Structure formats: structure tokens, C-alpha cells
Structure 1
């Protein structure tokens, strides 16, 4: 099997599988997101790496994929690993996998640690259905737009977030999803200072203002089932609007509380207004 994707420990090196140790020692080429971290992990595992250990990260994926695909085509065993967790999941790897698939080359994957699954397991939230959303956009407007599109998502949602953005992201989530929506902030999973904080988004947003460190995964409860009809939701929007609230703000709030999409609710209110004028 020329290309092997392998999950690496997300914190504790003891989580490395026996198969990972074997593949590190037996590969012709090891492609790592950070070669220094890879060598450090190998030393902790007592494994001697092959001579060819090359970097493979977001800045050289395009050019390095060509070289690695050539090695696979020649029958060399290439092991692809990232800094922590599963390659391709918010990490480099997808481009290489697509190249191998299109070239009809064989590939396999060694299962292992995943921050997404660990966070879900310890969150205390429903895990029968979930979706992974990765990192939210850095820019405020794009971040809010993405979250508004997820406002009616019924499945439990999982996000990655950087420490310096977590407070703002939680605040925006609380505003879009509702302050009472339940969530869990999982920090430094499997590491010495592992911490899982559970509560409402409003509570977590206030807590995070003090600042957090480390790798962070956020798990958010899905939207409640819609129990209010669209007509009733429109009537509620109109009632609040007549009391002086801004239409867009009211639509956002009622969408969160009823489970209807913000845009669908806004369009229905505009259509209702036009119908009243025509009468």
C-alpha cells in the first residue's frame, strides 16, 4: 500500500498505536506537517525514522504533492502524518489523497486519535448525529455569516478555534444561536492541563473573556426542533417590529427561538408586507 495516512497523538504520546510505530519505522518516506515535531514524537516512541523525512504543510502542499505522488507511483511506501490527529481533517492531506485517487494509486489509513471525536465523547451533548465545521473564518462578518447559516442546524456541531479568537467566537455564537444553547469548550485534550467547560453559550462567552490557552475544540448543541409555524413566527416578528425593534435584529432573535431560518423568516415578513399593501 504505497500511501498510508496515519493519525498521531493529539497530546499524550502514549496514545500512538503499535501500527503507527511500525509504519514510521518501515516507511520509505515520511511526510510530516512539522518535521521537528515528528522527530520528537519518534524519539518519544523509540522509533528510528527512515532517511527521507520531508515537510508537507499548507505552504508547500502543491509542489510537494507532485514529488510524493511520483514516489508512490514508483512503489515507495509514503507515510503522511500531521502534527496531531488525522491528516486531511483541518490539516494537510486532502490534496495528496485526491492526487492518488485520480492516479488510481492505492492508499489506506491508520485510525487513531481525533480531537473531534474526543470532544464529542466528553461534551455531554447528543452524539448520534453531528457535523464538523473546522475553524470559523477570521473576519467578523464572514464568521457571523457562517454561524447564521448554521442557526437551524439540528445536529451537534464541532468547531476548532484559536485561543486568541475563542472569546469573540463564543460571543457571536451566543448572539446567533441563543445565549441558552448548550455547549462545551474542550481545551488541551489528553494533555496534562486538559479542561472541559460545559454550560450555555452565554455563560461560556463570559468565562472565556479572561483568556484561554492551548488547542481548543468547541462542541455546540444543535438547534431545537421547530414547533412554531412560520405564520406564527412572522406574526411575532411583525409584533416586535411594530414596537420599534429593527427588522433584521428581530428576525435573527425569532429565528433562533423558533428554529426557522433567518432568511426564510425575513423573506416571509417582506412578502406579508407586500400582500398587505396590495390589499
Structure 2
């Protein structure tokens, strides 16, 4: 796991975009795993800028969303398919039909989960997965005590997660209780995982992710077992890290040829 402590979310977005740009320059048909929420927005902003100003193209790309709410009508502005459309898809040249999301409105949700797993497999797997992290350590919507081997499935949100996400809705009552999410086992099959976090409210989760034990109570801690994980955080979210100075030293002295 590579831990990079940066000045803020804009710098983190630029560093993440460097890795994504390098991937698509080398492999235009790459598969990108897409996260929603506030944390990835600087990444999407920077990718859109590079598309407009530098010609970064996604015409051959595919994208797979991490998760989706259950029960929101098609086209609801806070459905994650719509969020990704606004924040990423319509700002670059990716074919909308090649951006996939779990079907939270399916009549048979269990079958829809199995179909989503198969679609990722048929695409050749995810080359680079963007992640955020919840205040309780969830990635995707894998809440605490999720199976570390879990696959795409239906999950019930904790009240903490619903409260955290209420800012996107008119009230807490509007936040769904259920979601469809890629499982931890699904996420772990991505070739490169890039997690971004910022703000003091994420400090405890970041500490557990990086320096805590691998445990289902902090689902993100499973990333310690992945061979290629990059964690981009700001100073506020790094305040509880015991080895923060070491992470700063390794980043400052990283060989230029190494990349992320």
C-alpha cells in the first residue's frame, strides 16, 4: 500500500488523474471503476479539464459504478447513475452505453447482482478502481462487518451512512435504507485501487484502513491485502497516522520513473 499525504483535495485529484491518464494513454480500452460522493469529484474535474485541454480520450473505455441505491426511480437526480452522468460521463467523450451501474430498480435484485458481476468479468475486469471511504470505514457500500470475500449484493445502510449522505437529499427521510453494491471480494479483483480521502472527519477511518488490523469492522482494511493500492489523503485526514512522517519521506524521495 502506498500512502501519499498531499496538501489538499485539488492536489490529490491531480495526482490521481496522472495515474488515470497514464493508464488510458497506454491502454485506451481500459476499464475504469467509478465511485461517487464528494471525495472523487476533484478527480473527475481534472479528467474533464484534461479531456478539454489536452485531448485525453475515453472513447474506447468502459466504466463500472461501485453501487446504487435501491428504490429510487430511474432518472432520480441522486441515483448514482445520474450523479456519474453529471460529474463525469457527459463531461468527457466516453460512450454512455459503456458506463454501467448496478440496477437498483430491478424486479429481481438478486439476479441483477449476478448479472453485474458477470458484466465486469466479460469486460476483462477493472483496470483502475477509484474509491472513497466512509466515516465508518466502508468502501462502496460495504458497511462494517461485511464479508471480506463478498460479491455484488444488496446491503442495508447504517444510520451513520444515511446521515452522512442526507446532505445530498432534502432530508434524512429521503435517503434509501438499501443499496446494491460491489462486494469487497469484487473490489479486490481490480488491478489497481486508488482511494482518495480528505478532511478530519475521515481521520479515524483512514487510520484504521492503513495502520489498523485487517478486520470486517473496518471494511476498507481489506485493501492491505491488495498488491497495488494507492491512498491519497490530505493533512487533516492523516492526523492520526503513526507513520505519517515516513509516508511523507517516501513520497518526497520516490523515483520519478516509478509512477503510481
TM-score (norm 2): 0.32
TM-score (norm 1): 0.30
* Higher Rg: 1
User: Which one scores higher on RCO, CA 8 angstroms, separation ≥ 6?
Assistant: 2
